[in-house]
Amino acid sequence: MGNISKDYVQEYIRASLVPSEGILKGMEDYARENRVPIVQPEVARLLEVLIKGFKSKRILEVGTAIGYSAIVMAKAAGDGCKVVSVEIDRDMVERARCNIKAAGLENVIEVIEGDALAVLEKLDGRFDLVFLDGAKGHYGEMLGTILDLLAPGGALVCDNVLFRGMVASDSLVKRRKITIVKRMRRFLENITRHPLLDTAIVPIGDGVSVSVKGGTKGEQG
């Protein structure tokens, strides 16, 4: 995905971050060379801060890709955590599992192969944080089930919600992306007005929304 920030802002933010090492650095190189979409550095850092701030231990991810963000989140959550990640692409599932094993986190991160809409319906338990980074046009369809799985006081983090700036400006919308843009706009309208959620939209990376379940609006209702 593209980046919605000015180049100089992005460069400044990224220069402030500690560079990745080891398995994560290797995965970043692989993703760049093979054009595999993974979370951008500033979004990865936001996830780390949120997980530590919310003390999240049970984490659900939709959209595993090569396992990069799952590893980032597991490392941030620390001992006693469990990350469940859902991915529909079999090749990605296999690569993610290899990377997770190389990181020594195969007992912490579970990758489930399948369509997210179907998999989510079968999951049990509550999660402290949900990271939504799957098919952008289906965020809205998943919201109800995700809210059922999200513990009160938990966080819902959604990536790419401004979709290369198209969601914010009709002048940027490409014809073949109209459906995705319309669906994302409806999704953002829903989560910013939802009675169970307090939501902020953060203009970093390709746009990130952060929602807390059971905030002030939920308490008043």
Q: How confident is the model at residue 8 (pLDDT cuts 50, 70, 90)?
A: confident
* Average pLDDT score over residue span 90-107: 98
Contact between residue 84 and residue 110 where contact means Cβ atoms under 8 Å apart:
yes
Considering the segment(s) 7-216 as one domain, its CATH architecture is 3-Layer(aba) Sandwich (3.40)
pTM of the model: 0.91
Round the average pLDDT of the chain to a whole number and report it. 92
Residue 2 has what pLDDT? 55
pLDDT at residue 3, rounded to an integer: 62
Residue count (the chain):
221
Cα–Cα distance measured from residue 198 to residue 210, given in angstroms and rounded to the nearest whole number:
8
Which pLDDT score, from 0 to 100, does residue 5 have? 67
Does residue 199 contact residue 192 with C-beta atoms inside 8 Å?
Answer: yes
What are 114-147's pLDDT values in tens digits?
Answer: 999 999 999 989 999 999 999 888 999 999 999 9
Q: Is 8 exposed, middle or buried (0-12, 13-18, 19+ CB in 10 A)?
A: exposed
3-class SS of residue 211: strand
Mean pLDDT value across residues 166-177? 83
- Amino acid 161: pLDDT: 92
Percent of the chain with pLDDT strictly greater than 90: 77
Q: How far apart are CA 158 and CA 208, in angstroms?
A: 6
Domain limits, the chain? 7-216
Tokens of 125: 């338990």
Is pLDDT at 219 greater than 50 in this prediction? no
- 46, pLDDT greater than 90: yes
Instruction: Provide the pLDDT confidence category of residue 220 given band limits of 50, 70 and 90.
Output: very low
Q: 91-99, long-range: CB within 8 Å, 24+ apart, which pairs?
A: 92/64, 92/65, 92/66, 93/64, 95/66, 95/67, 96/64, 96/65, 96/66, 96/67, 96/70, 97/67, 99/23, 99/27, 99/66, 99/67, 99/68, 99/71
pLDDT for residue 56: 98
